[in-house]
Amino acid sequence: MNRLTPIAKCSPLLSGPLFSLLFSLLCSPLCGAAQAAPESFAIDPGHTFPLFEVRHLGIATQRGRFNKTSGTVTIDTEAGTGSADIRIDARSVSTGNEELDRLLRGAFYFAVVDHPEITYRATAMHFEGGKPVRVEGELRFLGVTRQVALSVSGFGCMRFPLPRCGADLSASFRRSDFGLTAMANFVGDEVTMLIQAEMVRP
């Protein structure tokens, strides 16, 4: 008995646009390995929001997020490599409290006039089972650059109607490492970042 390869099994028997569409949908889960190659994506700003958490007064957690994020990501699942350049608009910080937002944008905290962007450049990606699980990179905040690693969970991709990938990422660091020491007696030093991210083929 002849053993057909996965690609042979999902080869279309008929021609035409309808069968080409069906072929691409049915073949993708079987032929993904054969199609694997470096792919470049653009961050989808409508579905990507970095959220931060910090202890407030030692009794509760203060949360906020940045509403504008852009950048590019390149992933090669076959080689297990990738890179990323991400830009967060510090001026887009939002806590649901306009007075607090103005304070955070000011010189006392994020100093957005002098440092309008927070950037992250991935220097290495680690994969398990063809999916990224950890990203190592450089976070630049308030003019200071530090190594910060991101944990990756829930990574997945879809091909129809447009190529799109997404994941949840998390990290923690000390704000004092970036020179942000304001209100140290009232606001915790440990910062947790939780990032919902989606990216699309440009």
pLDDT tens per residue, range 81-112: 999 999 999 999 999 999 999 999 999 999 99
Residue 67 CA to residue 56 CA, distance in Å, equals 22
pLDDT 10s digits, 126-148: 999 999 999 999 999 999 999 99
- 176 three-state secondary structure: helix
Contact (Cβ atoms closer than 8 angstroms) between residue 121 and residue 141:
no
Backbone angles phi, psi at 189, to 5 degrees: -85, -30
Same domain, 63 and 154: yes
- Residue 20 and residue 117 in one domain: no
30 and 86 fall within a common domain: no
CATH no. for residue 184? 2.40.128.110
DSSP-derived letter for residue 80 is T
Its pTM stands at 0.81
Give the C-alpha separation, 115 to 180, whole Å: 13
Residue 28: which domain range?
1-35
**Are 71 and 141 found together in one domain?**
yes
Kindly state whether residues 50 and 141 are assigned to the same domain. Answer: yes
Task: Identify whether residues 25 and 45 lie together within a single domain.
Answer: no
Q: Are residues 114 and 130 in the same domain?
A: yes
